[in-house]
């Protein structure tokens, strides 16, 4: 055993250990292994990505599961890779192209642009992979995949052909979400809702052949008036029933349009009259189809107006055209009023601009196996954690819409359809030089929905498919999770007939969203998104991992606070220093059997706590309660092992010829061996370093075994006849804690030794009394028969514990200090009460502020009562 340095230096240790793990190919999964299989596929980060706290959380959870499975004896495959991220990558490269050369991709040409993208990917596309390694990710990097790998790309195209030949893929002109910035169609799941403060324009449409009669329409988009081909009202709306079947006059260009009745119109919105613009709104399109209205497209793909019949608008950007249209209406006397209007608009997830509903010819997929996809979740063949996401998933499947799978971008999987003279063929290989391939590419998610099985060769699939669990964010439950389930059921990669053989995973764990301390979503613009690499540099990867998981409860958003990461580092230091103490007493017994030794009550209590921790950990892991598991380990190591047992052990080991010293060392060694293994999934570096420093077993801790609930119960049985000793230890710890609280109540510094007096319920042995004195930092624990004068008391499990203040405190000075403190608190309390009972103040203060004041007043009242109790004690 080599001496431990005074301080734990995480950076140097982590780099050295991780390099050794990679060199030893520790994480290479063996499909021919006889061990049971455990597998995870890494949600492939975009090649444009860099490490965020979201990546840290997601990949740490996957790493915890993978490392725990290795310790349990599984053959583990954690399969990593990256996604080509078609639209996102194209935007990044084109932005760079415009900055460097002043041209876009279309001026450069498709082949040359794709060459630039491939170059960019070689240079930048694996940055996040290297960053994940700094986190300690134990993925099988020898199997790293990329969604544009040649064999993967071919599989994507073969899937397209197979679905086309089954009649599930078709081409049609339909209303889609269109991004005017990226010039491509988007699926519903790629459009984010965003609240926007806008205007509601009330426009007067004259009724034809009825002088002075107008129908007023409320619209947020007056610029689309040139595309109006009808006006609709609800058939049961008495206000407008007489106009149904008549015609109205479109303001510009001047034209006659029908007034229709349709039940889809909401009579409560605006004026209850809807202008129908079939080319630029999904509802309008549906109404237009029912009433056979013409479709007039008044927008270019880039969001500029395309209406030569209204020269004042033609060529303007859509938002400029909105202002101009309002001006034109005002000039014509047709703008009744404008009202502020807060509403939700769809925004392109990547380009961050409002999308346009647009009639466009695209490729669509009718989802197969929707019924089976619903069944496997309802029947719990696939478990969701937290469970409430099952309802969200079911709702989407039950209302599933055809998937627009074509994209008008160049970087991606080209659609395997070939055109000649208006006819087409669907096949992977080109049918000949006279045939031209479809210019569109496939939605990025069309490749990643195959990720769970197309990343594996046949031998790997036989061993590791279906995978054990997927860890991902709930924001892609439709984009990815549901589609992977459908793909597995449709393409049957398990090669068997049953659903269980073909589902892509048996469980899905949905992570929470990380927010700042104020509850705000993290973003660069707010400056509240810390750099994980800087946190690793400052606190170590172990500190970041453990600190983050302690504050990540299942199914809840996470309030990030850097102090928690600091606590993670301090926790590692605490463990390190405990091991430095143990190193003073010689080599650690790797196979210690403490139950065969004479044990102090404090060793028995610590081993009992270890047993209970192991049992509760199995429950926490089984429910995917990672923060609960981290909290259990923190509590045991920090409180039971270090703060309690270790302090008692110092007393025991300092005594000459202590009969329990050997048992104390054996208990320490046994517990440490399991502590390192239990902590390893969370803190892989410090645990591996300590394991090797103390030569506790194999050259790496990673396969050393797991402290299962069965092992924990076995330990508990071995200690069954010593339960009373554990109870005594708990009593001593409780008495020491109350003694420390008594000291702090009277402002006595924790490092100042003071005497205590004990009126014991039963005699204490010298060893227990010595430990109580050490934990209380008492100069002595003397026995008394009755209450001594001028000595406040606390009741403890071992009896009445007194703190004699005479000679330690000047009681008159202390009374004055407490009185002043109480008066100060009373003044603060009264100031809050004055605010709370002032109607002028409470009327303008937010409810949250009022709630905070009330809580502050409650805390002040509690503090004043405590001070009053102390003053009463001093008076007595």
- Which of 726, 714, 717 lies closest to 609, judged by CA? 726
Cα–Cα distance, 555 to 510 (Å, whole number)? 7
d(CA 678, CA 676): 6
473: CB partners within 8 A, 6+ apart: 54, 58, 510, 511, 513
**What is the distance between the alpha carbons of residues 231 and 247, in angstroms, rounded to a whole number?**
8
Residues 783 and 843 both lie in one domain: no
Q: Residue 213: is its pLDDT beyond 90?
A: yes
Q: Quick one: which of 204, 207, 78, 193 has its CA closest to 145?
A: 78
Beta strands in 459-608 (DSSP E): 470-472, 507-510, 514-515, 558-559
Say if 22 falls within a structural domain: no
Q: Is residue 136 part of a domain?
A: no
One domain, residues 546 and 649: yes
824: domain CATH number is 1.10.287
**Rounded to 10 degrees, what is the CA torsion of 853, 854, 859, 864?**
100
Quick: pLDDT tens for 59-74: 999 999 999 999 999 9
The answer to whether residue 809 scores a pLDDT higher than 70 is no
Which tokens go with 239? Answer: 């206000």
Helix (H, G, I), strand (E, B) or coil at 400: coil
pLDDT, position 845? 79
If asked whether residues 317 and 351 sit together in one domain, one would say: yes
Distance of alpha carbon 874 from alpha carbon 865, whole angstroms: 14
Residue 593, pLDDT > 60, answer yes
Same domain, 674 and 751: no
Q: Which of 355-364, 554-563, 640-649, 712-721 is the least confident region?
A: 554-563
Cα separation of 69 and 705, whole Å?
Answer: 9
Residue 858 banded pLDDT, cuts 50, 70, 90? confident
- The DSSP element (H or E) to which 191 belongs, if any, is strand 191-207
Same domain, 783 and 870: no
Contact (Cβ atoms closer than 8 angstroms) between residue 681 and residue 62:
no
Q: What percentage of the chain reaches a pLDDT higher than 70?
A: 98
Listed residue (385, 794, 814, 401) closest to 624, CA to CA: 385
Q: Is residue 795 pLDDT above 70, yes or no?
A: yes
Task: Identify the band that residue 387 occupies on the pLDDT scale cut at 50, 70 and 90.
Answer: very high
* pLDDT for res 336: 96
- Average pLDDT of the residues in 697-708: 94
Tell me what pLDDT residue 526 has. 67
Supply the CATH number for residue 701's domain: 1.10.730.10
What is the reported pLDDT for 817?
75
- Identify the pLDDT of residue 848: 78
CA dihedral 666, 672, 674, 679 (to 10 degrees): 170
Closest CA to 152 of 548, 480, 461, 453: 453
Answer with the one of 779, 802, 825 that is the final residue of a domain. 802
Q: Which of 767, 797, 763, 768 is nearest to 783 (CA)?
A: 763
Phi/psi zone of residue 171: left (φ > 0), alpha (ψ -120 to 50 degrees), beta?
A: beta
Which DSSP string corresponds to 515-534?
E-TTSPBP-TTTT----HHH
Return binding residues. 524
Structure tokens, 136: 């300690």
Q: Which of 626, 612, 722, 719 is nearest to 674 (CA)?
A: 612
State in Å, rounded, how far the first CA of the chain is from the last one.
Answer: 58
Q: Is residue 72 part of a domain?
A: no
Give the end of a domain, one of 356, 383, 418.
Answer: 356
Per-residue model confidence (pLDDT) at position 131: 96
Token couple for 750:
């924790």
743 lies in the same domain as 796: yes
CB-CB contact of 170 with 96 (8 Å): no
Query: Which residue has 């009681």 as its token pair?
Result: 811
Answer whether 590's CB lies under 8 Å from 696's CB.
yes
Residues 318 and 337 grouped into a single domain: yes
Q: Are residues 197 and 344 in the same domain?
A: yes
pLDDT band at 861 (very low <50, low <70, confident <90, very high): confident
Residue 874: is its pLDDT beyond 70?
Answer: no
Q: What is the mean pLDDT of residues 436-454?
A: 97
- Say whether pLDDT at 584 is over 90: yes
- Above 60 in pLDDT, residue 1? no
d(CA 33, CA 188): 43
302 or 187, which is more confident? 302
Residue 431 within a domain: no
Q: 122 in a domain, yes or no? A: no
> Cα–Cα distance between 867 and 188 in angstroms, integer?
61
Using N-to-C axis directions, what is the helix angle for 483-491 and 150-165, rounded to 10°? 80
Report pLDDT for 849.
82
Q: Is the Cβ–Cβ distance between 124 and 62 less than 8 Å?
A: no
- pLDDT score, position 409: 94
- Provide the pLDDT for residue 206: 96
Q: Which residues pair with residue 195 across a beta bridge? A: 344
Report if residue 375 sits inside a domain.
Answer: no
- Domain match, 661 and 544 both: yes
Radius of gyration in angstroms for the set of CA atoms belonging to the chain, rounded to a whole number: 35
Band of residue 418 on the pLDDT scale cut at 50, 70, 90? very high
Write out the DSSP string of 310-331.
STTTTT-BHHHHHHHHHHHHHH
Q: Are 637 and 707 in contact (CB under 8 A)?
A: no
Q: Are 764 and 696 found together in one domain?
A: no
Closest CA to 446 of 350, 363, 349: 363
Average pLDDT over residues 536-556: 94
Cα(287)–Cα(717) distance, rounded to whole angstroms? 74
| Interstrand relation of 507-510 and 383-385 (parallel, antiparallel or unpaired) | parallel
Residue holding tokens 């990672």?
626
> What domain count does the chain have?
4
Q: What is the CATH number of the domain that holds 229?
A: 3.90.740.10
- What's residue 810's pLDDT? 64
- List the one residue out of 746, 749, 728, 862 whose CA is nearest residue 804: 746
Instruction: Write b or e for each residue in 121-150: b if 16 or more Cβ atoms lie within 10 A of its Cβ, otherwise e.
Output: beebbebbbebbbbbbbbbbbebbbbbbee
What is the reported pTM? 0.87
Would you list the DSSP string of 148-172?
Answer: TSHHHHHHHHHHHHHHHHTT-EEEE
CB 790 within 8 A of CB 811: yes
Other CB atoms within 10 Å distance of the CB of residue 418? 19
383 is a domain residue: no
User: Would the CA dihedral through 104, 106, 112, 116 be positive or negative?
Assistant: positive
Task: Give, to the nearest 10 degrees, the angle between helix 647-654 and helix 601-622.
Answer: 150
Q: How confident is the model at residue 178 (pLDDT cuts 50, 70, 90)?
A: very high
Q: Which H or E run contains 621?
A: helix 601-622
* pLDDT tens, residue by residue, 618-636: 999 999 999 999 999 999 9
pLDDT score recorded for residue 646: 96
Range of the domain at 688: 532-718
Element (H, E) at 759: strand 754-760
Point out the least confidently predicted range of 262-276, 477-491, 758-772, 807-821.
807-821
Q: Are 4 and 573 in contact (CB under 8 A)?
A: no
Regarding whether 818 and 786 lie in a shared domain, the answer is: no
- As a whole number of angstroms, the distance between CA 552 and CA 561 comes to 12
Give me the pLDDT at residue 697, please.
Answer: 85
pLDDT single digits (tens) 420-439:
998 999 999 999 999 999 99
Residues 853, 714 share a domain: no
pLDDT band for 850, please (50, 70, 90 cuts). confident
Nearest-CA neighbor of 500 among 511, 515, 516, 489? 489
Query: Is 696 inside a domain boundary?
Result: yes
pLDDT, mean over the chain? 93
Instruction: Give Cα separations from 250 to 185, 202, 227, 396 (angstroms).
Output: 30, 14, 10, 39
Determine contact, residues 678/2, Cβ cutoff 8 Å.
no
Backbone angles phi, psi at 153, to 5 degrees: -60, -40
Last residue within a domain, chosen from 718, 753, 772: 718
Task: Give per-residue pLDDT as tens, 518-533.
Answer: 788 776 656 778 899 9
Mean pLDDT of 698-720: 94
Residue numbers in the known binding site for ATP are 524
Please determine, for residue 575, whether its predicted confidence score (pLDDT) is greater than 70: yes
């Amino acid at each position: 055993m080599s001496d431990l340095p005074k301080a734990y230096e995480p950076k140097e240790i982590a780099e050295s250990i991780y390099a050794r793990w990679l060199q030893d190919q520790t994480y290479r999964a063996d499909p021919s292994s006889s061990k049971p299989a455990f597998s995870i596929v890494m949600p492939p980060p975009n090649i444009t990505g860099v490490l965020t706290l979201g990546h840290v959380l997601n990949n740490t959870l996957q790493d915890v599961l993978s490392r725990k499975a290795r310790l349990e004896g599984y053959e583990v495959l954690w399969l990593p890779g990256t996604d080509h991220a078609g639209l996102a990558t194209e935007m990044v490269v084109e932005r760079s192209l415009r900055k460097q050369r002043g041209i876009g991709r279309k001026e450069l040409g498709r082949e040359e642009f794709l060459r630039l993208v491939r170059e960019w990917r070689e240079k930048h596309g694996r940055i996040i992979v290297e960053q994940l390694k700094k986190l300690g990710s134990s993925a099988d990097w020898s199997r790293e995949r990329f969604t544009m790998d040649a064999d993967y790309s071919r599989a994507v195209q073969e899937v397209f052909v197979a679905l086309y030949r089954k009649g599930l893929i078709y081409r049609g002109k339909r209303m889609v979400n269109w991004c005017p910035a990226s010039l491509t169609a988007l699926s519903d799941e790629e459009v984010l809702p965003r609240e926007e403060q806008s205007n509601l324009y009330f426009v007067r449409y004259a009724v034809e052949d009825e002088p002075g009669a107008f129908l007023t329409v409320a619209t947020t988009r007056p610029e689309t008036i040139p595309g109006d081909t009808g006006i609709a009202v609800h058939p049961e709306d008495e206000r407008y029933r007489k106009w149904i079947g008549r015609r109205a006059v479109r303001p510009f260009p001047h034209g006659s349009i029908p007034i229709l009745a349709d039940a889809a119109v909401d009579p409560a919105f605006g004026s209850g009259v809807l202008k129908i613009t079939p080319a630029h709104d999904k509802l309008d399109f549906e109404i237009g189809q029912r009433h056979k209205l013409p479709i007039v497209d008044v927008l270019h793909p880039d969001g500029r107006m395309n209406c030569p019949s209204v020269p004042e608008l033609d060529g303007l950007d859509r938002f400029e055209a909105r202002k101009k249209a309002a001006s034109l209406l005002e000039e014509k006397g047709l703008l009744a009023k404008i009202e502020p209007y807060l509403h939700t608009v769809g925004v392109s997830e990547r380009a961050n601009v409002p999308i346009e509903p647009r009639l466009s010819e695209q490729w669509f997929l009718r989802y197969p196996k929707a019924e089976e996809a619903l069944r496997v979740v309802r029947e719990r063949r696939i478990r969701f954690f937290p469970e409430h996401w099952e309802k969200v998933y079911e709702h989407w499947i039950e209302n599933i819409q055809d998937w627009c799978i074509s994209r008008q971008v160049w970087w991606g999987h080209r659609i395997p359809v070939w055109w000649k003279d208006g006819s087409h063929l669907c096949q992977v290989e080109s049918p000949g030089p006279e045939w031209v391939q479809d210019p569109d590419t496939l939605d990025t998610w069309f490749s990643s929905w195959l990720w769970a099985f197309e990343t594996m060769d046949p031998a790997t699939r036989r061993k590791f498919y279906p995978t054990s669990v997927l860890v991902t964010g709930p924001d892609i439950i439709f984009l990815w999770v549901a589609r992977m389930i459908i793909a597995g059921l449709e393409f049957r990669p398990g090669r068997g007939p049953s659903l269980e053989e073909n589902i892509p995973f048996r469980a899905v764990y949905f992570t929470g969203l990380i927010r700042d301390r104020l509850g705000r979503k993290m973003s660069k613009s707010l400056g509240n998104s810390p750099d994980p690499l800087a946190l690793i540099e400052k606190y170590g990867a172990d500190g970041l991992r453990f600190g983050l998981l302690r504050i990540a409860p299942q199914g809840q958003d996470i309030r990030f606070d850097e102090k928690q990461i600091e606590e993670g580092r301090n926790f590692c230091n605490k463990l390190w220093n405990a091991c430095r103490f143990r190193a003073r007493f010689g080599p650690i017994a790797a196979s210690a059997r403490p139950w065969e030794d004479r044990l102090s009550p404090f060793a028995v209590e610590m081993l009992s706590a270890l047993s209970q921790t192991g049992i509760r950990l199995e429950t926490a892991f089984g429910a995917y309660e990672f923060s609960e598991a981290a909290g259990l380990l923190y509590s045991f190591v920090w409180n039971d092992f270090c703060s309690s047992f270790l302090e008692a052990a110092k007393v025991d080991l300092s005594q000459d010829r202590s009969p329990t010293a050997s048992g104390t060392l054996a208990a320490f060694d046994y517990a440490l061996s399991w502590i390192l293994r239990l902590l390893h999934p969370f803190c892989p570096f410090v645990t591996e370093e300590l394991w090797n420093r103390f030569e506790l077993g194999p050259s790496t801790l990673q396969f050393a075994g797991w402290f299962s609930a069965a092992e924990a119960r076995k330990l508990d049985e071995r200690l069954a006849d010593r339960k009373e000793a554990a109870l005594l230890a708990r009593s001593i710890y409780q008495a020491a804690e109350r003694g420390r609280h008594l000291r702090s109540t009277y402002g006595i510094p924790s490092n100042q030794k003071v005497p205590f007096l004990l009126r014991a319920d039963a005699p204490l042995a010298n060893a227990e009394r010595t430990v109580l004195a050490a934990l209380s930092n008492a100069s002595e624990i003397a026995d008394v028969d009755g209450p001594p004068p001028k000595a406040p008391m606390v009741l403890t499990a071992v009896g009445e514990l007194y703190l004699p203040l005479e000679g330690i405190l000047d009681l008159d000075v202390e009374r004055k200090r407490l009185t002043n403190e109480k008066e100060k608190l009373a003044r603060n309390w009264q100031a809050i009460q004055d605010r709370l009972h002032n109607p002028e103040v409470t009327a303008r203060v937010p409810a949250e502020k009022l709630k905070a004041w009330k809580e502050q007043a409650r805390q002040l009242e509690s503090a004043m009562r405590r001070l009053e109790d102390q003053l009463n004690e001093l008076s007595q």
